[in-house]
Structure formats: C-alpha cells, structure tokens
Structure 1
Amino acid sequence: MATLAEPLLMTVAQYRELPHREDVIEELHCGRLVALTRPKMKHVRLQQRLVAVLTPLATDKGIIAAEVPFRALPEYELRGADVAFVSHLRWAAADDEDNLPGSPELVIEVLSASNTKAEMREKATLCLTNGAEEFWIVHPKRKTVTVMRRSGASTVYEERDVIPIPLFETSMRVASIFE
C-alpha cells in the first residue's frame, strides 16, 4: 500500500532562488509558499496613516515602517508586517542583504476580507513568541484595534478609546487612525 509523502519544507534560501510572480505577494509560512492577494488602496492608505500617526510617537525609540519583511523563525519563515515598529538598535544591526531576524517589536496587521481569524491568531502567536511585544489587528470597518500582548492580555479598543503604548511610553487615540 502506498503512503502519502509529507511535502518537503522550503527554506528561505530555496525561496529566494524561485522566480517570483508579480500578481501576488509571496511569503514563506512554516516552510510552505503562500500567495497573498495584493492590497487595495484603502488598505494601503490605512497603512500609511498608521505610519504617519505612530512615527512621531516612536521617533526616539525606533523606526515605524510599512511592509517590513521579517524572519520570525530563521529557516522556514519569511513574512511581512503591514506596519511594524523596530527599535533603533535592531534596525541598525539588521543585515542589508537579509531580512529582519525575529519579529518586529510591534506588528500591525490591517484586516482585509481575505484574512481569517485563524490566520491572524497564528501570525500573532508566531510574532509574540519570537520577539514581538505587541500584535495589533486594525479592523477598518468596525474602526477598532485589537491589541495582543506577549503577556497574553488581549484588549479591543474602539474608536472613542485611547491605546496605551508601553513600547513608546505614551498612548494614542484610536480615532486618530481613522481620521
């Protein structure tokens, strides 16, 4: 009787040797190539708004950037954060010819129609166990931000709320993201 062979896991080195498609964003999840749809402009605008709102709050601590590629686990993971905060120390130490090792200290995902709860939970767990202090999910339709912390705490902030940001030793109004 024939048995099904387990699929071979792809390493980041092997991934980098592949020809890449222009019509999708490709990431490596647990050694498997995953094609993601390109974001719509409303998604991109919200990413840029997050960068604009967070940058003045984080300037003395680190860098806020959109579409940050990172390797939460060195061999079989290569993902991107919609928006991320990386400390000045880690940003300066990152190899220009590689991707950020580990997860950014803050990973922010803007929820899209193609995202599932399971995908968001899995990415949050991956990030929070590999360097992230916080993982945010921004829900554009509900105008909420779910903040998950490494401690296991999870809070949903609504448009009228203020989010404490311990990494920056400050806070911000949720409404400022959606203005």
Structure 2
Amino acid sequence: MAVRKEKQQWTYKDYMNLPEEVRLEVFDGDIMNMVPSPTPAHQRVQRYLLACFSNYLSGKTCEVFGAPIDVCLFAEKETAPSAIKSWVQPDLLVVCDKEKIGDHYIVGAPDLVIEILSPSTAKIDRVVKFHLYETAGVREYWIVDPLNEYVETFLRGENGFALKNIYANEDTVEVGIFPDLQIPLNQIFMSK
C-alpha cells in the first residue's frame, strides 16, 4: 500500500488504520521516516545486542524491546491515539518503568535507546532523533555504526546528552545505566 507522505498532520490513530506492514516514524504530524527493511549487517548487530540485554535483564525489572515497536515519546497512558502526533521506532530500547509499556506501544521516554545507522537513516538518527530522545528525557542513547564499526554512547546530564565515549570494534562498551553490564564489540562486528 502506498502512503502519501504529504498527508496533513498524521496521528497515531491514522497510523493504526494502515496495514501492519507499513512502518512510519512521525514527528509533530509529519512523516520523518518511512522505515525500510534493515540490512543483514544491521540485523546482526540488533540480534547480538538484543541477546546481550535480554540475558542481562532476565529476572530484573527492566525489559528490552527490538524494532519494530512504536515509542510515543511525548504521550502519556491517557493520551488518545488521535492526539499522538509523534512516534519513533528505535532499533532497540530498554524500559524500566512497567507503566510505560502499553498494549500497542511504549508511552514516554525509554531508559536506553539504541539506533543502528544505515545510509538512509544516519542523518535522522544523529540529528532529529538525537534531539527528540534528549528532549523526551531518555537516560542513555547509543549510535551504532556497523559500516565503520564503532559505537557512540551519550548519557543524560543536567543540560541534556553528553558524549560518554566512542568505542571501536575491539573495545567493550560500558553500559551507563547498568554499571555491571559490559558488552564486547568484537562479536557485533565479526563478519560482514
């Protein structure tokens, strides 16, 4: 099904009426990204990180989710779908507040968001989504670049996100919100 990008003021209610295979990210009623299928390299990175976080969070309060899942960053549980005009689909996210996990989407800011870059999404992930996640109150944000084999991590401070570190393919990422979790990157970027 073709989706007209120029439709005036998309709402989550409009989106819910589209076929399930249509994936959109919308900011302030305008489509910012019609999400393409991920590449094999993207899928490898996502699968590995999802397994790392799933294993670590087993039996804990926080929960990890992988795309596709909608996150309505600026909504509340009581917000009607017709009033939601912004949502994103991060590649991976961790939510520690069970009240934010709705029946159809995540409500409010996740604790950790990870975006895996692709040529078609790099600008959106680095600029638009960076700002959205920062404004919404996400505690930690990662940008993973499978092509150049590095991970940038940002932690929320008093004035928004601050770069914590840049990790290369042989490094081990220290997860800011979970100080006892470290993820070796050599597994992520092992083969293309």
Contact 2:44 / 2:188 at 8 angstroms: preserved in 1? no
Greater Cα offset, 66-75 or 29-38: 29-38
**Which one of 183, 186, 192 corresponds to residue 172 of structure 1?**
183
CA distance in 2, matches of 1:93, 1:25: 21
Q: Which residue of 2 aligns with 1:72?
A: 73
Equivalent runs, 1:32-111 vs 2, <5 Å: 32-33=30-31, 34-59=33-58, 60-67=60-67, 68-74=69-75, 75-87=84-96, 90-91=97-98, 94-96=101-103, 98-111=104-117
**Paired position in structure 2 for 1:11:** 11
Letter paired with 1:52: A
1:133 Cα deviation (Å)? 0.7
**Residue 109 of structure 2 aligns to which amino acid in structure 1?**
S
SS at match of 1:56: helix
Amino acid at match of 2:44: R
Which residue identity does 2:176 align to in structure 1? P
Query: 1: CA distance between counterparts of 2:92 and 2:28?
Result: 21
Deviation at 1:49, TM superposition (A): 1.0
Q: Secondary structure of 1:43's partner?
A: helix
Say which SS state the counterpart of residue 112 (structure 1) adopts.
coil
* Alpha-carbon spacing, 1:125–1:143, altered in 2? closer, same or farther (3 Å): same
Shift in Å, 1:144? 0.6
Q: Aligned partners of 1:20, 1:64: CA distance in 2, in Å?
A: 25
Structure 1 residue 92: Cα displacement: 5.6
1:93 positional shift: 5.2
What count of residue pairs does the alignment treat as equivalent?
169
Quote the Cα distance in structure 1 between the aligned partners of 2:125 and 2:172. Answer: 26
Of 112, 116, 123 in structure 2, the residue corresponding to residue 117 of structure 1 is: 123
What runs of 5+ residues in structure 2 fail to find an aligned partner?
1-6, 76-83
- 1:29 CA drift (Å): 2.3
Give the structure-2-normalised TM-score: 0.76
Which amino acid in 2 is paired with 1:54?
Answer: F
Closer/same/farther in 2, CA of residues 73 and 153 from structure 1, 3 Å limit: same
SS in 2 for 1:168: coil
* Aligned residues: CA RMSD: 2.4
CA change 1:176–1:40 in 2 (3 A) is: closer
Q: Which runs of 5+ in 1 are unaligned?
A: 1-6
> 2:140 matched to which residue of 1?
134
Higher strand share: 1
Q: Secondary structure at the match of 1:166?
A: coil
In structure 2, the residue matched to 1:29 is 27
Is this contact kept in 1: 2:71–2:105, CA < 8 A?
yes
Shift of 1:95: 2.4
- 1:124-155 CA-partner distances (Å, limit 9, x unpaired): 22112213111111111221101122223212
